Amino acid sequence: MAYEQNGRLPDHQNWPRPELLYSEALRELHATIESDWDSVKRSACQTAAGRALWKHVVNDQLAELFAGETYLTNLYEKIKNDRMNNAREVSGVILAVRTLWFESKLEAALESFGGGAQVVLLGAGMDTRAYRLSCLKESDVYEIDFPEVLEMKETLLQTAINNSINPQSKSLTRIAADMREEDWFKKLQSSGFIPEKNTVWILEGIIYYLPHSQAMGVLKTIADNCSLTKTVLLADFMNKQSTTLSSSNSFHFYSDWPDHLLPTLGFSEVNLSQIGDPDADYGLLHDPLNLFNKLRGVPRSFQNHPDDGTPCCRLYLVQASGSPKTISS
């Protein structure tokens, strides 16, 4: 069911149900994920569940495979209750908007390069863009994540479809590396990445899990590439208040002003959006009184909402770019 451009969403009776067509082998693999992985790694499956259950706006045929029954069922029940109760914000809407924003900016960045490029997904998790975005057909895609995450991703694919699905990207290379370690960039280079080739870097749903010094190291490594080639960074940042949202204290890095931070590292142009802005809405946040639209009217310097004192928890969607001609001296 396609969503309407005026922002109407399916009601609780018509919301697309997950199919849950899992073999016993797939159930066992997902049981391993639930029992052995920490909350950071499991977030990859939760994100996939969001894409799967918003499939009327996000076309991802592999999302259910990577999500698993537990996360699909839990999120579906939350969405169903939200729609029954006419909630102003429906569960998973942030994931849907974020996914659409990243993909629209990625396509635009590749078009601006005028040809093939490299796309690096840091903390790729269960990302499926290499399999479903035609704009990647001339691009080399690199996915970086923990070894156990990438191994499980490949095993799920092999178990479900016996490698019968091929990437749409020119190439797809998976690199087992821990972004918290300093050797991740060397591993990327040794896997075929060319620093002098136009590159889009994607940091989606990952930077805030890193400690401050390590997050800054990752951002600086990417910014340094601006002196070598045309470089675009697509990332989402939490402000300080948002880091308190994790019950497991998983969030560490934050930036209240990423549009001020990134130029100090070497990016020449930075554009920032908030959920609900004209380029980060997609007809899904039409209620002017929902949380995101209310926050947009509050100055970013405010840590708490002036009306009710609740924390101003913001998610910033940021596009930063640089090139050898514009890099700061």
Q: Indicate if 228 and 180 belong to the same structural domain.
A: yes
Of 60, 85, 110, which residue constitutes the final position of a domain? 85
| 119 in the same domain as 57 | no
Is the same domain home to 165 and 248? yes
Residue 327 within a domain: no
Please give the pLDDT value at position 278.
93
Q: Check: pTM over 0.85? Answer yes or no.
A: yes
Instruction: Report if residue 6 sits inside a domain.
Output: no
Q: What is the pLDDT of residues 189-205, one digit of tens each?
A: 999 999 999 999 999 99
CB-count exposure of residue 226 (10 Å: 0-12, 13-18, 19+): buried
Structural contact between residues 322 and 226, judged by C-beta atoms closer than 8 angstroms: yes
| Residue 143 shares a structural domain with residue 281 | yes
Give residue 8's pLDDT: 67
* 63 shares its domain with 181: no
| Residue 296 lies in domain | 93-322
Assess whether 81 and 99 both reside in one domain: no
**Residues found in the chain:** 329
Both 160 and 227 in a single domain? yes
Which residues is 119 bridged to in the sheet? 141, 200
Per-residue pLDDT reduced to its tens digit, 261-320 = 999 999 999 999 999 999 999 999 888 888 898 899 899 999 999 988 889 999 999 999
Which CATH number characterizes residue 265's domain?
Answer: 3.40.50.150
The pLDDT value recorded for residue 3 is: 42
Q: What is the pLDDT of residues 141-190, one digit of tens each?
A: 999 999 999 999 999 999 987 556 889 999 999 999 999 998 999 999 99
Cβ-Cβ contacts under 8 Å for 35 (sequence gap 6 or more):
none
Mean of the per-residue pLDDT values for the chain?
Answer: 92
Last residue of some domain: 85, 104, 135? 85
Other CB atoms within a 10 A radius of the CB of residue 12 amount to 15
Q: Is residue 8 part of a domain?
A: no
Nearest to 233 by CA among 189, 264, 270, 196: 270
**Longest C-alpha distance within the chain, in Å?**
58
DSSP assignment string, 80-116: HHHHHTT-SS-TTHHHHHHHHHHHHHHHHHHHHHTS-
Which of 85, 110, 138 is the last residue in one of the domains? 85
| pLDDT tens digits for range 1-49 | 334 444 567 876 778 788 777 899 999 999 999 999 999 999 999 999 9
Whether residue 261 is contained in a domain is answered as yes
Q: Do residues 44 and 149 touch, judged by C-beta distance below 8 A?
A: yes
* Tokens, residue 7: 């922002």
**Domains: count for the chain:** 2
> Looking at the structure, do residues 232 and 315 belong to the same domain, yes or no?
yes
The pLDDT assigned to 21 comes to: 78
CB 245 within 8 A of CB 300: no
Whether 142 maps to a domain, the answer reads: yes
With respect to residue 310, please indicate whether it lies within any of the assigned structural domains: yes
91-100 tens-digit pLDDT: 999 999 999 9
Instruction: Scan for tokens 């396609």, then name that residue.
Output: 2
Per-residue model confidence (pLDDT) at position 122: 98
Distance set, CA 203 to CA 106, 166, 207, 295 (Å): 12, 24, 6, 23
For residues 218-231, average pLDDT: 95
Q: Are residues 251 and 281 in the same domain?
A: yes
Rounded to whole angstroms, the Cα distance separating 306 from 310 reads: 8
Whether residue 229 is found in the same domain as residue 313: yes
Q: Do 275 and 316 reside in the same domain of the chain?
A: yes
In this structure, the answer to whether residues 80 and 163 fall within a common structural domain is no
